[in-house]
Amino acid sequence: MHFEDWLVSIGKSAKTAKSYSGAIFGVMSTWAAKAGLVHQSLQEIKSVEAFDSVRLGIRQLAIFDARNTVGKGMYSAALNTYAEYLADVTQEHIALDINKIFADSTLTETERATLANTRLGQGKFRSRLIEHWNGCAVTGYRDTRFLVASHIKPWSRSNNEERLDPFNGLLLLPNLDKIFDLGYISFEKSGAICISRELEGFETLGVHGQLRARLAKQHHDYLTYHRDVVFKGR
């Protein structure tokens, strides 16, 4: 996914997306090249770690400081957001987590393999949910940086195929993810929310009876399991 498209996908306006993209691949690439930080364009950088080094160099340029002041922080915002974009599309943080797992001498080989496969699977699962939902499954909130990939049938009770099935998941805001995971809300086949009687003060969590999930037929069996096994009742 290109940077400008990614910006729109996380809820930025088309105008902001165009401005950030133009700044990164236009003037800031020119500044970086003239300063010897890159050969041609910032677009050639594919690593978050490499970009962080270049980003620091750009921020130290006098022209950046002057233009960023005039632009009311637009250039620094574009740099920061491009770093988030690289982290998202490269899933570099997952690779770092896996490296840490294999470097942990307290784990057995079997434990390392299990944890690494789990972490890798989480990244794939989240990517599939983002592709399917394009935002929170309930509220429609679009900035995927703040959304959680939540299994409908719990990961611990799913087989390997179910663990990666995008229809066994909802992309949710953190508050909804937590109470869904704990069984205090669920959803009917129609998408209508079910709220447990045990959930006190749910309005303060942003939960109300008009919330609905945008479901496909393939979600139904997983949600039947969730209502029957996980949900704490009405």
pLDDT digits (tens, 9 = 90+) for 46-97: 788 788 889 999 999 999 999 999 999 999 999 988 988 887 776 656 666 6
Q: Are residues 51 and 117 in the same domain?
A: no
Domain closes at, from 90, 110, 145: 90
Domain closes at, from 28, 62, 90: 90
Q: Are residues 116 and 215 in the same domain?
A: yes
pLDDT band at 139; cut points 50, 70, 90: very high
Q: Are residues 77 and 106 in the same domain?
A: no
Q: Are residues 84 and 133 in the same domain?
A: no
For 147-151, the CB contacts below 8 A with 24+ separation are 147/171, 147/172, 147/173, 147/174, 148/172, 148/173, 148/174, 148/177, 149/122, 149/125, 150/177, 150/180, 150/181, 151/125
Give the whole-angstrom CA distance, residue 2 versus residue 21. Answer: 9
pLDDT for 91: 65
Which residue range is the domain that position 9 belongs to? 3-90
- Amino acid identity for residue 3 in this structure: F
* Number of domains present in the structure of the chain: 2
Give the whole-angstrom CA distance, residue 108 versus residue 51. Answer: 35
Q: Are residues 127 and 190 in the same domain?
A: yes
Q: Are residues 153 and 43 in the same domain?
A: no
Tokens of 32: 């970086």
Q: Are residues 21 and 55 in the same domain?
A: yes
Q: Are residues 153 and 176 in the same domain?
A: yes
Minimum mean pLDDT among 85-94, 135-144, 221-230: which range? 85-94
Which residue is listed with tokens 């050969």? Answer: 39
135: left (phi over 0), alpha (psi -120 to 50) or beta: left
Q: Are residues 30 and 103 in the same domain?
A: no
Q: How confident is the model over 179-200, as a mean pLDDT?
A: 92
Q: Are residues 143 and 174 in the same domain?
A: yes
Q: Are residues 136 and 104 in the same domain?
A: yes
Which residue is listed with tokens 């709220």? Answer: 195
Give the whole-angstrom CA distance, residue 40 versus residue 57. Answer: 15
Q: Are residues 44 and 83 in the same domain?
A: yes
